[in-house]
Chains A and B, each alone.
Chain A
Amino acid sequence: MNIVSLIILVPLIGAVLTLLTKTKEQARVIALVSSLAPLVGALYMIMQFDSLTPSMQFVESYNWVPSLGIYYTVGVDGIAMPLVLLAAIVVPLTIIYSWGEDKQPNQFFGLIVALQAGVMGVFTSLDFFLFYIFWELTLIPMYFLISIWGGPRKDYAAIKFFIYTHVASLVMLLGIFAIYFAVWAQTGTPSFNIPYLLEQFQLLESSLLRDSIFLALLFGFIVKMPAVPFHTWLPDAHVEAPTAGSVLLAAVLLKMGGYGLFRVMLPLLPFTGSPNLMITILGFIGVLSILYGAMLALAQTDLKKMVAYSSISHMGYVTLGAAALVPLSVSGAMFQQFSHGLITCLLFMSCGAIQHIAGTRIIADLGGIGSKMPKLTVLMLFGFMASLGLPGLSGFVAEFMILTFAYLTLPTYVLLALLGIVVTAGYHLWAMQRAVFGSLNEKLGNLHDITNYETLSMAILALLVLYFGLNPAPILGMMTTNAEQIVSLMAIAGV
């Protein structure tokens, strides 16, 4: 068994062990250890990783259901590796942040670790059957996190989250069936192997079939991202989810949608019946998400809802960068996923801390809390600055690359997206100014600063955001190798 299987299996076993513990102490320690193990594994993989080849590394394959062409195949490349690292970083930090959780701690931490196993599986599966299983497996822990530890409208939000994303997954499943059978009919051998199916896709004769497959798969992924107009489940889920749930949802689960875009959609795009139309659709969705998400964020009165809409806006850059199909815009989009994962974590943790300490997240009811909570203020300000794209931090690198290089192929969309930057800066600064600075709102009562556990996890995130802002090259290097390969398909297809 190689390293990739281990980073899936260890959290899976850890989750079961955590669920079986009796005390809070045992639960959180076991959960932390079993979520740190994948981090060690991911760091080891990064060291061994060859950034110069776009092919799969650490591949492992076993027979599973050979009569249907189903194999247990896992491996990583430059698209998956950074996201594996992201999930390995974010989950232990979430556990540290939630160190004081008192309500059913064994289930709480167990579900978080189970989620990590599912996400690792999604990012490393090279077999559509396996991929779909992990894709669905991530739903269940999240559903429970929202509906047990959530806010007042948790039932509604949990069911909406579940049904919305489940329906999207089912549509994606239809697409998977279609590509599977179409390729089976074409070649005579059944296979769910993702790279194989993506390669064979171009040989399918009917362009209608190719378009239908593309759109079905695309729907599954963009609902997950989520892109406007399929975003309505996200704000509800975020507002009602506990902080740890929001963090994992925004930092890791949304990235599964973006991952699908790079892993599956872009390699198929040049070979669909009408690639230019598909690029227009993707670019349009991207810009719409950037602008509409930012506008909605500006209008929010709830700090957490604002951050939720800012996620939609930032994920729009991923779609736009991918649609531009310039090597550096595509790798910028991949880097945006990684960077946004870290930054949004910091933002949701700040919101969670404010809710926890001040008892409200309504911006108008806050005000001047900075004077009482200096540590939180510094870290939160850092997060907000990163989120609005301050140079030197990771968000800037990603968005700069996307906008600069996407201009080469999609200039109109980029000019529109630039408007979004102004709005983005606006809602971040305005919210900070109203909630944190100014004179203290006397009605808030006794405020204290964040706990050491919260500080630790947020400080680590802030340092990582700074580190990857100053030194993005190692991660970007892996991404660019794969981005170039994806873009070269366009030339092969003659688009």
Chain B
Amino acid sequence: MTNYMLLAPELILTLVALTTMMVGLFIGKNKTILGYFASIGLVAALSLTVSSLNANETLFYGTLTIDALSQFFKIVFISVSLLVTIASIKYTENDQNADSFFTLLLFSTIGMMVVASANDLVTLFVGFELASLSTYALAGFDKKDPKSIEAAMKYFIIGSLSSALMLFGISFVYGMTGTTSIPGIAENAGALVGSPVGLIAVVMLIAGFGFKMALVPFHMWAPDTYQGAPTVVSALLAAGSKKMGFVAAFRVFVVALAVLSPTWQTAFAILAVITMTLGNVVAISQTSVKRMLAYSSVAQAGYIAMAFAVMTPMAFAGGILYTLSHAFMKTGAFLVVAVVGYMVLSDNKNAKDIDHIDNFKGLSKRMPFTAFAMMVFVFALSGIPPTAGYISKFVLFSSTIEAGLVWLAVIAILNSAISLYYYARVVKYMYFLPAIGGKVSEPAPYAIALILALAGVLVIGIWPEPFVYWAMEAAKVLI
């Protein structure tokens, strides 16, 4: 007997998305109400997902699976979406296209949730495309800003290429194993071992997912897109849509192609090292905070990718926990940039370079709460206790020692130290440099979103037990 209640979060969000779209056609200029409506839908979906954490079932002839891993990632996606939606209530305040914004946001969330649950490569691809197409449009939402359009175009072209590569890889896997079902592939994957076709398939899939995860050398689009897109959308891309690449890779590599692990394990180790190093080193020289966060996000993807190189239950738990922590700290950091952008624009309507680090000067005087939140987020990103970033790094980095990969641990830890430099610089600008301009109060939606993100970062950091436990349960699905 199939329990369709397990799909209730997806169904609710689909209904909310469709309703938002329809209602948006009829109500007039003030469309803020739709943002509240979408937030309520997301809260409902979140609580339903949390209530079925321990579920373990497959639905629709084995194409969807509801297990600890899928539920964990769904919580990540819904949380990010919720934070972004709340903050966007302010961002889309006087925009008559607010209805499309929220609809696209919800559809992208649904897409990511489908990927989290996908137990079949075709389902996975459909979810991937649903999420990607929605985010392409969102990235270009600021359609009067050429940078936003550039961001969307770049993202679209490179995203399409990566989809093509992924599909190419999937077709090879299908051709050799005769099935697209993930457990089915796992059974027949022996056919791929030692054959050049298997190698090509792995390379194609790594490239396809690597684009989404923004692993070096597939990261080129990320800084431009994150910088050009509206900041709330950058938050969604960096904290949400990127994780879709990880959950897909977990399912496809670790579950379906486990027998090929010698091939992809080394590849991921190398990618992880160059990704974190390049991300951190390039982030140092950035003057745009948004771009700095984009490179830091690249670096963080490198840390998470270590899980594929280490391949122990502890490493997977660390990687999974890291995605949750990263969701809160990265979304929070991007939202702070959005708040600062709002502040700069309220000083001067025609301001340029609103994400320049100079705008963070003396932020502690101008917006004490936002500055404090940003301090917690950047400290969390650099892994300072007692924040979510610390406990996740703790579990993830410690797993490399457990597996005997001391060189990887040393590189990761050195990277962590490098990253402190550019994170501390933001704190320095906010707290030590003199402020230009008076005090500004944060608009309520931004403040609420920041408080929620801050709560996430601190709760996971101070009371990590349930989250570590969930992450370990989710990791058990993989091994």
Contact = CB atoms under 8 A, between A and B. Distances in A.
A137 B402 CA distance: 26
Nearest to B403: A181
12 contacts: A66-B465, A67-B465, A133-B390, A137-B386, A166-B420, A170-B413, A170-B414, A170-B417, A171-B413, A174-B413, A177-B402, A185-B402
A162 B424 contact: yes
A65 B421 contact: no
Interface string B377-389: 0010000111000
Nearest to B404: A181
Given A65-B464, A133-B386, A180-B398, 9 more contacts: A68-B395, A132-B385, A139-B384, A155-B432, A159-B424, A163-B420, A170-B416, A174-B410, A185-B402
Q: Which of B390, B397, B402, B421 has the largest number of chain A CB atoms within 10 A?
A: B402
A292 B434 CA distance: 41
Contacts of A174: 401, 406, 409-410, 413
Contact of B401 (A129, A132, A178): A178
B385 A137 contact: yes
B384 A140 contact: yes
Interface string A59-78: 00001111110000000000
Nearest to A143: B424
Interface string B90-120: 0000000000000000000000000000000
Contacts of B402: 177, 181, 184-185
B36 interface: no
B420 A162 contact: yes
B417 A166 contact: yes
Given A67-B468, A140-B384, A155 B417 contact: no
A68 B392 CA distance: 12
A429 to B, nearest CB: 40
Interface in A141-172: 143-144, 147-148, 155, 159, 162-163, 166-167, 170-171
Contacts of B29: none
Interface string B69-81: 0000000000000
A75 B47 CA distance: 40
B42 interface: no
A143 B432 CA distance: 12
A166 B390 CA distance: 13
Nearest to B473: A67
Contacts of A140: 379, 384
A475 B406 CA distance: 42
A177 B432 CA distance: 35
Given A64-B465, A163-B417, A177 B428 contact: no
A136 interface: yes
A229 to B, nearest CB: 19
Interface in A102-137: 129, 132-133, 136-137
Contact of A181 (B379, B401, B413): B401
A173 interface: yes
Contacts, number: 69
A129 B395 CA distance: 11
A19 to B, nearest CB: 10
Contacts of B468: 65, 67-68
A137 B432 CA distance: 20
B334 interface: no
A174 B386 CA distance: 18
Contacts of A148: 431-432
A65 B465 contact: yes
A67 B466 CA distance: 9
Contacts of A67: 465, 468-469, 472
Interface string A2-14: 0000000000000
Nearest to A171: B413
A404 B247 CA distance: 64
Interface string B425-464: 0001001100000000000000000000000000000001
Contacts of A65: 391, 464-465, 468
A173 B413 contact: yes
B366 to A, nearest CB: 15
A144 B431 contact: yes
A170 B401 CA distance: 13
Interface in A307-363: none
Contacts of A68: 395, 468
Nearest to B372: A19
Contacts of B391: 65
A46 to B, nearest CB: 29
A155 B431 CA distance: 12
A184 B384 CA distance: 25
B188 to A, nearest CB: 35
A177 B397 contact: yes
A148 B434 CA distance: 11
A156 to B, nearest CB: 12
A180 B431 CA distance: 38
Nearest to A150: B432
A64 B417 CA distance: 27
Nearest to B465: A65
A136 B420 contact: no
Nearest to A63: B465
A163 B409 contact: no
A147 B428 contact: yes
Q: Which of B401, B464, B469 has the largest number of chain A CB atoms within 10 A?
A: B401
A285 B401 CA distance: 28
B385 A136 contact: yes
Contacts of A173: 397, 413
Contacts of A170: 413-414, 416-417
- Please provide the 4 A-B residue pairs with the shortest distance between their CB atoms, ordered closest to farther: A133-B385, A177-B401, A177-B398, A181-B402
Given A68-B468, A147-B428, A163-B420, A177 B385 contact: no
A193 B285 CA distance: 41
A170 B416 CA distance: 9
Contacts of A63: 465
Nearest to B401: A177
Contacts of A64: 465
B105 to A, nearest CB: 34
A140 B394 CA distance: 19
Interface string A170-196: 110110011011001100000000000
Contacts of B410: 174
B177 to A, nearest CB: 36
Nearest to A132: B385
A272 B375 CA distance: 41
Contacts of B397: 173, 177
Contacts of A132: 385
Nearest to A176: B398
Contacts of A162: 420, 424
A60 B373 CA distance: 33
Contacts of B379: 140
B319 to A, nearest CB: 15
Contacts of B424: 143, 159, 162
Nearest to B385: A133
B434 to A, nearest CB: 12
B276 to A, nearest CB: 14
Q: Which of A67, A129, A139, A163 has the largest number of chain B CB atoms within 10 A?
A: A67
Nearest to A155: B428
Nearest to B394: A129
Contacts of A137: 385-386
A184 B410 CA distance: 21
A460 B205 CA distance: 70
